[in-house]
A and B are shown apart, each in its own frame.
Chain A
Amino acid sequence: MADPAVATGDQTLIRGGVVVDETGERRADVLVAGGTVVAVAEAIDVPRGARVLDAGGCIVAPGLVDLHAHLREPGDEEAECIESGARAAALGGYTAVVAMPNTEPPVDSAALAMEILALGEAAPCRISVAGCITMGRAGERLVPMAELAAVGVRIFTDDGAGVQDPDLMRRAFEYAGDLPVTLGEHCEDSRLAAGGHMNEGVASSRLGIPGIPAGAEEVMVARDLILARMTGARLHLMHLSSAGSFELLAAAKAAGIAVTAEVTPHHLSLTDEALESYDPVFKVNPPLRSRQDVAAARAGCASGLVDALATDHAPHRSETKDLPLDQASPGMIGLETAFAVALGALVRGEPDLRGEPDLGGDSRGGSGEAGSGREHLGVASLLALMSWRPARIAGLSQDRGGDQGGPIMAGRPANLCVLDTEHTWVVDPSAMASRSRNTPYAGWTLRGRARHTILAGEPVVVDFEAQR
């Protein structure tokens, strides 16, 4: 943590941007010193010795917060480590990331959680850590949740798989209800999904690839919503992908169930037709769904039904991806592309981020889908989904004692990003900070990128370049 006393002379002026936060939008320069925002005003003179970051034409916003990233450390440091994952996050405009607990070994003890948090101290992005719901993610008995909560764990999940046993999940809800924590569920009934490698539907039937039905997700969404209602505990639904799930979510929210939900950028921008290439880079869990599902996910984001965008950044070594489709590991990296992809999908309403007239290039499926782009978001609503709303779910918001996602005003922690919505760039996997290359957007031309990222007052990314 930056010590204000030491860093008083270390001033940074973010000049020429438009500040966007939960309180609204205004043209303002932002002066940062010692880890804190010290002034926000329309025109601030450059203090002597201050570093100036140009934000002309850019949005100055609270740093982005990712609820869902696999950083692979400990266990698979060749695919990613906390340091490289944090750098990728910073380049994506993130100032906080929740590391998923399906490491090797999994995060089912306070000791391991503390170790990961300690590793994150030096990283160019704030690292928070989620804990498992069950010991070893084996789905048999609960982890010591209170002990983990005591060291700062706020989200528990067996992500990578759902908790299959409904009674065990009920007990997890009951126990978690007493603590300041949220249960995150990877909604997938493993029996219904068994043997599948892509979304079950028109494309899988044509391609001869065994499918994972949307119902495998929806069954568990419904079960968990019922359990959340029974127990009154908080539920966070991770990476929702199917139209049916959004219907269930809407009904549950209307009924007052304490539920939040996240959607990934890839489920807003890609469909199962991408598997036509049989390229395992498009294999992900939950799988890329149909156009109708993409449209439902976009509509859910536009209407406010969905609470957060989360990357599900899942790095994989090439030897676990360069395989026959059914043997390849599911997952794709996303921290560095999330803002551009979400901006294209939700704000610009682009049918296809590559600029092609039709997503996937055929006319099946009729109207009202991904391509229609009728319901656009303002940039502020997008930032709500990527910054302050996920900050609250993760327990990292200022109103919950954290330092993320809060309004940009004097005296507040300086975790900021400067986003250039017009910057055009070509995704080059070999140029990414992640140790893995499994981005589905390789070669795509994207529009929008984090220009600067300021973590606790320190510019960790300047002009699209990581500073450490």
Chain B
Amino acid sequence: MAERERRLTPPRGGVFVPRGQVLSAEDVHRALTRIAHEIAEHTRGLADLVLVGLQTGGVPLAFKLASILEEVEGEVVPVGTLDVAFYRDDIGLRPVLPEAATEIPVDLTGKSVVLVDDVLFSGRTVRAALNALSDYGRATNVRLAVMIDRGHRELPIRPDYVGKNLPTRPDEQVDVSLDGVLLGEVVKR
């Protein structure tokens, strides 16, 4: 949803033309449930866990993960949102505008943080997110959960939890929402 909006909003607008569905809504839910279990398994007690969704695509996934964790483990996990526009290293290279609010509900010092994003591509957003997180406290550890890992990494970053590994060409586009995952291209209007 979020990625779609971003692409369709001026000045970056274009039309996303899907070529095929990679995951259905059910698949997405199943993947999130699996990731929730993995997180719970790897986290000693959920009391110190904080989920942080990256604006804008990771935010609905983070909230969904939290609700699954609550269902499964009976613990309310705090969810934050993070916009990394101010931390990007490609400032000046392309349009970088803050798209939505950053809201970190708790001091992250001593917390175990899971960053949640929709697609892992070059790794630069995650790099920026790690910088941004450090302004909110010194987390004990930070892990990364993504729905799609599409390859083409430019930095030594790897995800801890992956919904699906999806080999892509650089010019393809991946559209992630709770309704499913589409692979396609963006063409200009």
Given a CB threshold of 8 Å, the question of whether A touches B is answered with no
